[in-house]
Chain A
Amino acid sequence: MRTCGRGRVNSLARSVVDASVRLFSLSALHVNILIPTIMLPDEILDTLQSEFPCRESQIQQLTAFYSEHHLPSPPLLVAHGLTATGKSSIIKSLLELSSLPHAVIRCRECITGRHLLERIVASCLDALDTFGDERIDRKRFARTENLSSLAVNLQRLLEGRNKFVLVLDGIDKQREAPPTMMAALGRFREVIPNLSIILISNLPLTQALYTPSTPHIHFAPYPRSSLLTILAAKPPKIFLTPPSTEKFPDYTPDLAAEDDAWLWGRFTSAVYDSLSKHTGRDLVNFRIAALKLWRPFVEPVEAGTFGTRDFSRLMVNRRHLFQGEEGVLDRIIASESTLTNPTGTVPPTPKRNLRTLAHDLPYYATHLLIAAYLASYNPSRTDVTYFMKHTDKRKNKRRVHTSSGTGAMKSKHRKISRHLLTPSPFPLDRLLAIFRALLDDAGVPQSADLYTQVATLTSMRLLVKAGGAGSADPLDTGAKWRVNFGWEYARGLGRTVGLEVGEYLVGGVD
């Protein structure tokens, strides 16, 4: 760099400013790095270390490889580690700080292999446009159909330029990736000497790459202590609106920040030990759970019931937060009710009324669904005993029940309740026959409405077509169907129309 002419440095510095300005519009996080000069490797190292604690060795290795413009970087590097171990964020920050020309491609945004290839070329063009001073003639790069044309295009693009870093983030999740892609990527360096590729994946790619001696950087999952350190860096506030200065004149913002950090630290370790250890240990999950529980946790403090340092009493008071599962369940609709339970007692496990309909189904549709459930879970040979007219259902039920559970059988096979097994497919006519038997033949006309309902229930995925996917006709006679709901739901349906489904189920439900 020092050997470069004056004009070059200037243009480079300008482009860095441009890049960082662009960065700012994206996120407000990086305010402290708005420095219009090129950072030295040591400075980069320090910035990264402070922004991403607990990743010392990985950051060191990466900065060694990529911070200097004139030193060679490895042609291919694999950064691997489980989810939320900081791979994407650290590599992105590093490249931005080092102001190397680079392009980051998120493979999850690429729908096909071709899409990825086109994206690579387009992003490289964009990156070079922002990092360089002259515009590149894009005409020559209009199409990138396959890997070899990618190689050609990149070669043409990077000819006579400095080092360029290409990051493929989440390469192992690429949809419809060309089969030879990994092998090809490993050998790009042979034709494009100034390209260095970073692959980010969840698993090590040693098998797939065919190029031995590819450096791998492992991002190990964070242990408990690291997780706590990372979270401790940004404690949320206890008081959303600071307490009035007249009442508490000596409660300064500094003091408040100290309290926040103290309570947050204790709180996160409690959350980790009671919940996240067993459910989601990765950083993102842990952080989400902690933030979800934080507001209800500090509620008494905010209300003035407890002081900010009454941690143990707060724990006892809010213990239901750590006993229930609400905090770690992923829900779309935040259910506030159970989290902000004012009584300190354990709430009865919220009986989520799973898979119930919010709206009532029409009368016959309900019966069709019940019939479908029975057709799925009763063996067809028992239909005669259960649904023939003029037979005593109860008597038959008892007989079937006892004969299946004789002692000799029991010792050999452990009997699994039928309703816990997967539903078996049934033809449409069996469904209709059971349907009529259930209605005690109240003279339901054979109208097309019944078929319409089967189709409707299918598009609601309450009934699903089992096999026979070849034919487009949803009411094809050869087709078989299956129910797509469980026992609880079937029983609930039965109760809405005054029918006890258990009485018709072979083996009963206990």
Chain B
Amino acid sequence: MEHEKCYIYAPPESNSEERPSKRVRTSKLQSQPQLTERLSTYREVWAQQEERIQQTLENADSVTQENIVKFVAASTTSEGEPQASIPTGLIVAGPSIASHGLFFSRLGQNIRSETDSAYAVLTSGECPNLKTLLKCLVKKITSLKDDGDEHDDLINSGFSARNGPKLLDFDLGHVQMWQDKNETQSIVVAIQDSEAFDTAVLVELVDTVHSWLDRLPFILLFGIATSAENFEDRMSGKSLRYLDGQKFDVTQSDVIIEKLFSVTVANADARLRIGPTLSHRLLDRQKDHVQNVQDFVDGLKYAHMSHFYASYPSIFLRKGSTYTDLPSEAFEAVRNLPSFRRWIETLLQDGNASEVRTLLQSDQSLHEEIAKHIKLGQTALTSLSQAAILFHNIRESLQISPPFRLSTIWTRAAAGDLSGSPLYRETMLSLKKASSDKLKQLLISMERLNMEGSSIDWAKFNQNLLKLVQNSDGSGPLRSQDDVRNDSVRTTVIAQKVLLSKHKAALSEQDKAYSELVAQLHDEIDRYMTSAFIDPQAMFLSEIFMYDLKSPHVEVFQPKPRFAIERALATPHDYLGCSCCDRNRTEEEGVLAATQPATAILYQLFLESGTLINASDLWSAFEAIVEEGSEESDPKTSALIQRALAELRYLGLVKPSRKKTDHIAKIMWKGL
């Protein structure tokens, strides 16, 4: 294709009159009314959620952190005898690399506050080799606890107080001088992402630290994403001998996510809810792609932000906003909500025409209705969340397998497809069959949860159950009449089929009383749950108190760069929207038209070919399309194909091949 050394490129003259002139918006429509108010409402709502998140995160790995702090404290006490090996903590922090930074900074705070230690975190990015690593370490350690200017003096001049030889800036002698002054009990060095470090650097670090161990009380902590064994395999035998320590497991991130979900989305008290579709997406992404607590929190935050930014009616979530605060546009916006229309239609069907009229005409009465319905909706969602928690609790206490997470149950409930589902029926059936010991656990845990909102008197049930159990003379737990498992046990013992029916009749007095209790409980719970598990999306104003749009979330958090490029090249019409290459018009699939951009044409030819592409074949095919009909070859075509090829190469789709002359190699395929 490079048969000409150079050529003159004449760009196609642009015929400017064809381009439609831009239309200027003339009306002075305020695109974002009351933005500041919504912003402040958002801040209020999010601050509350954020506080819960912070608290959960802090509690989540507090046990592990405590253990590590204890380990550090214990390692410092052995005074006197020179240590043979470096105390080492292997912190198995799991594959959610992005949250390790947070963990280690929290750990640093704990270690500093609870022990007399210096603490420095090193990451692979700042330590490409031993020298930089030590430099970084010296800087981080010596800048701790010191008064600012004193420290500068120390670093810059080394021994210059005595005007002698300077210490080089990676000499741990700096740390020793610092240690002589501060006399900390230990110097904790945390290697945040040990996997990403060069193994050789780690080995040398261990060697150096060991050599200094008789003067500096080092403790090493390694953050590990895979496993402790894996880490040991990487280190050489000698370094392993220098290390001696313990393993610490950090809470798995899916457990933390689950906790976060239950305090934020499924919390009983939330002004704005994240809907089931979006929650499902957030959770699925965690399960399938990333494991990153921060990302989950970002997703939630973004959802809150988009709701208050993009939806004007969200202004009604503002606390204490009176009718006079709101312009009529706000009510107009509400009247445009689909749920408003649905509601109006049902009102009409019920023959409340006058009410509908006032709602459509009077802003004031609409305002009252909105306030009422938002409260209603929020209460409904609160009881839905509580019912979901109760449901989860039942399954957990009765140990029904398979175990379902609260997040799963909540999303199903919020999507409105839990009540009446097989899952629901199965759970309620198990409740009926529950024996007294399991039931007791359930009641105790329910009492501990202390849920308001449900009318069920757990304490009373618990007392009744206790009485029954105390009165019972048998050794085993009480059984309800629906408990079939009981029969099967007996039949195997006696090996008689007939006994099965006999058993039911011979229910003891206590068992009968127990069965009654269970049935009563079952009915109450059932009644409560069926009333709580409504479909929130069907409610009036659900658009305001529930945010469930997937589109901006997906585009922001899960972009598809490669797909976008491939689509743009394969079907340029999708993006250009021009009339000349509209496929629907020609009604032929995959038609290559000369009107398409040259790169797109070439790309589609490229898609049809194999791994090695003959450049001249490509050229003639291209020519055939571009110069439909005309016999002579146009010099412009040559320029077009050269540029198109260069662009494909720039995108990384092809590269020159050395395997065959005049061929290029295909290195990317569509749809991967």
Contact = CB atoms under 8 A, between A and B. Distances in A.
B227 A362 contact: no
Given A330-B240, A358-B94, A364 B289 contact: yes
A108 B130 CA distance: 12
A478 interface: yes
B165 A115 contact: no
A449 B558 contact: yes
Nearest to B222: A332
A333 B561 CA distance: 45
A460 B97 contact: yes
B435 interface: no
9 A-B pairs with least C-beta separation: A138-B164, A477-B652, A359-B94, A330-B240, A449-B289, A432-B672, A446-B563, A447-B558, A139-B163
B95 A456 contact: yes
A469 B52 CA distance: 44
A139 B164 contact: yes
Main secondary structure of the interface of B (DSSP, over half): mixed
Contacts of B566: 446
B559 interface: yes
Contact of B159 (A138, A450, A461): A138
A108 B168 contact: no
Given A362-B289, A446-B672, A288 B241 contact: yes
B338 to A, nearest CB: 28
Contacts of A175: 130
A332 B165 contact: no
B162 interface: yes
A478 B657 CA distance: 13
A427 B668 CA distance: 10
Contacts of B637: none
Contacts of B165: 118, 121-122, 125, 138, 141-144
B652 A353 contact: no
Nearest to A446: B563
A218 B226 CA distance: 45
A346 interface: no
- Best-buried of A109, A119, A141, A362 by chain B (most CB within 10 Å): A362
A111 interface: yes
B225 A332 contact: no
Interface string A451-463: 0110010011110
Contacts of A360: 252, 254
23 contacts: A108-B211, A112-B131, A119-B171, A122-B159, A138-B159, A284-B241, A288-B241, A330-B237, A333-B246, A355-B229, A357-B95, A357-B226, A365-B289, A429-B667, A429-B669, A433-B672, A436-B671, A446-B560, A447-B563, A448-B559, A459-B97, A462-B226, A477-B667
A112 B135 CA distance: 13
Contact of A448 (B287, B560, B671): B560
Given A138-B162, A360-B252, A449 B290 contact: yes
Interface string B531-560: 000000000000000000000000000111
Contacts of B231: 332
Given A427-B667, A445-B563, A448-B561, A332 B162 contact: no
A118 B168 contact: yes
B244 interface: yes
Contacts, number: 187
Contact of A26 (B82, B94, B163): B82
Contact of A362 (B208, B211, B228, B290): B290
A352 B75 CA distance: 28
Interface residues on B, range: 35 or more
Interface in A252-269: none
Interface of B: 80-82, 88, 90, 92, 94-95, 97, 124, 130-131, 134, 159, 162-168, 170-172, 193, 195-196, 207-208, 211-212, 214, 225-233, 235, 237, 240-241, 243-247, 249, 252-254, 285-291, 558-563, 566, 652, 655, 667-669, 671-672
A187 interface: no
B288 A352 contact: no
Interface string A331-369: 111100000000000000000111111111111110000
B95 A365 contact: yes
Contact of A446 (B170, B207, B562, B652): B562
A332 B226 contact: no
Given A355-B229, A446-B563, A449-B558, A142 B285 contact: no
B226 A355 contact: yes
A109 B193 contact: no
A236 to B, nearest CB: 14
Given A106-B211, A109-B172, A356-B227, A460 B195 contact: yes
Contacts of A331: 232, 240
A360 B67 CA distance: 23
Contacts of A112: 131, 168
Contact of B211 (A109, A118, A432, A445): A109
A477 B652 CA distance: 6
A418 interface: no
A459 B244 contact: no
Given A109-B172, A461-B196, A333 B228 contact: yes
A189 interface: no
Contacts of A224: none
A460 B672 contact: no
Nearest to B224: A358
A288 B240 CA distance: 12
A71 interface: no
B229 A354 contact: yes
A503 to B, nearest CB: 22
Contacts of B288: 362-364, 449
Nearest to A170: B211
Given A445-B558, A477-B668, A332 B290 contact: no
Contacts of B163: 138-139, 142
- Best-buried of B88, B95, B241, B563 by chain A (most CB within 10 Å): B95
B134 A111 contact: yes
A319 to B, nearest CB: 25
A364 B240 CA distance: 34
- Best-buried of A106, A118, A476 by chain B (most CB within 10 Å): A118
Given A109-B212, A332-B232, A478-B655, A448 B558 contact: yes
